[in-house]
Amino acid sequence: MKDDVFKKELIKKLQITYKKKKRRNLIIAILLSLFILFMELFILIILDIIQINVIYAIIAGVIGIISFAIGFYLLITESPIYVEYEDDDWKTK
């Protein structure tokens, strides 16, 4: 009986963890895509294909590098899964 309740709670916690990881992967994909877009904009401005001020290229490059750094950090650091299990048998002994 106690194991069934534990299994249901574990499944519920794992579903929540799955949703959080899915959201985290979406954020990583968006940040790395922004890196690619901003760096392309940086290159197009530097090569004078888009004729605007060079300061915009520097801003685009900085934003691109920051988005890459955050996305890469989220990619290489996995959040651990904590599962709490309370067993009252050891407390009574």
Q: What is the pLDDT of residues 52-91, one digit of tens each?
A: 999 999 999 999 999 999 999 999 997 766 655 555 554 5
Q: Per the domain annotation, does 59 fall within a domain? A: yes
Q: Per the domain annotation, does 51 fall within a domain? A: yes
Answer yes or no: are the C-beta atoms of 88 and 5 closer than 8 Å.
no
Q: Per the domain annotation, does 83 fall within a domain? A: no
Residue 23 has pLDDT above 80, yes or no: yes
Q: Which amino acid is at 14?
A: L
The two most distant CA atoms of the chain are separated, in Å, by: 78
* Domain count of the fold of the chain: 1
pLDDT given for residue 85 in this prediction: 57
Which residues, 6+ apart, have CB-to-CB distance to 13 below 8 Å?
A: 83
Q: Per the domain annotation, does 89 fall within a domain? A: no
Question: Which residues constitute the domain of residue 62?
Answer: 2-78
Q: Per the domain annotation, does 8 fall within a domain? A: yes
Q: pTM for the whole thing?
A: 0.74
